Structure 1
Amino acid sequence: MNLDDDLENLVKCVAVGDAAVGKTCMMMSYALNEFPKEYVPTVFDSYESDVVFYDGSYTFQLIDTAGSEHFDGLRESLCYGTANLFLVCFSLTDADSFANIETKWIPNIRQHAQKGTPIMIVGNKVDDYKSRFPVKGEISLKAHEKNIQIVSKRLKAEGHFLVSALTRKNLDEMFKAGINLAVDRRRELNKIRARTGSKGVNGNGKGGGCTLM
């Protein structure tokens, strides 16, 4: 298999969101089946796994990005253009991180990413929320989910999930849905690439990729 074939089968999923909303824990829990014991701010990191579909196997690359505004330019220039899926994350215990989905993260994606790249909204730390509100936790979560559904529809996201990296609640289901969306997007780009003769991995002839640090 040559380099072009490898690129055609590379599916990139980029997680964005405010700092400390649980992106790294979510990625590590799913990809490595382990939960970090302490918080270490991420600059960029990635995890890979192979997934098999009816039309062949794909390399699913999970890209964890820094939430700090100091890395905004770096994140946009290195990762956005070649993403096949965005996981826009917030913490259920941080109302500001939820508001920033609509005011910062999704507008930022729409400005810098390829048009049509699917977006999923992910609410992290279900376990933490329940421990803080043990009496009304489940009822409040249902209210949260209804609100998230409304926001997701308004922002034209392709899906939304509430997950826990610690207990893995809804984690596998969320990534399965994300993989399906990302692979569908990869297929679309491969068709464009074949039709136009483009050598760019992102379907617009520009090439490039996410350089990880």
Structure 2
Amino acid sequence: MTTQLQAQESNVIWHQHNVDKALRSQLKRQKPAVLWFTGLSGAGKSTIAGALEKSLADQGYHTYLLDGDNVRHGLCSDLGFSEQDRRENIRRIGELAKLMTDAGLIVLSAFISPYREERQLVKDLLERGEFIEIYVNTSLQVCEQRDPKGLYKKARAGQIVNFTGIDSDYQPPIAPDLALQAGEKTIDKLVDECLLVMKARNIIAQDKKLP
């Protein structure tokens, strides 16, 4: 089986097309990137990413928001929440995000992604400078108080297993590109902090107009 798989892989060759990433980016007049929002469930990842995407869209940028729950309705609907399945979930998202940057898009990705190793895996898939790790630093206490989906309550009651922060580990970024104190600031201020990082990386223009 292994020999057969190796033979198949040796016959799979990446085809380089005439329309490439550089041209797609030029047509969109933007620099592709992946903004990877990580943090506990209920930290505010999707809310901040959604508000940021709206701001970018209002400025004329081409974006796509990948959300943890949404991708499990299709692309990753066959995966559970074991450690192995979580890693496969992030691997697939990483490959998808890579294709989207190849299309010239600014990708906003909101996933718990609890393990440093899997976040590094995604970073390694992309070109240097394209991966921006954003740690939505909201305490477990605040996340439990919010509990927008009632998941923490179920996890505490033993109805959900392998729940991050309760009976499954979360490894916060050691040196994120941006750490958002989401329990202390308004959404508008958090979005502004994201925009500042994007300007510093020359992903968006300094004057908030199309580059």
Q: TM-score range by the shorter chain?
A: 0.3 to 0.5
Greater CA radius of gyration, 1 or 2? 2
User: Higher relative contact order by CA 8 Å / sep ≥ 6: 1 or 2?
Assistant: 2
Between structures 1 and 2, the one with greater strand share: 1
Q: TM-score, normalised by structure 2?
A: 0.44
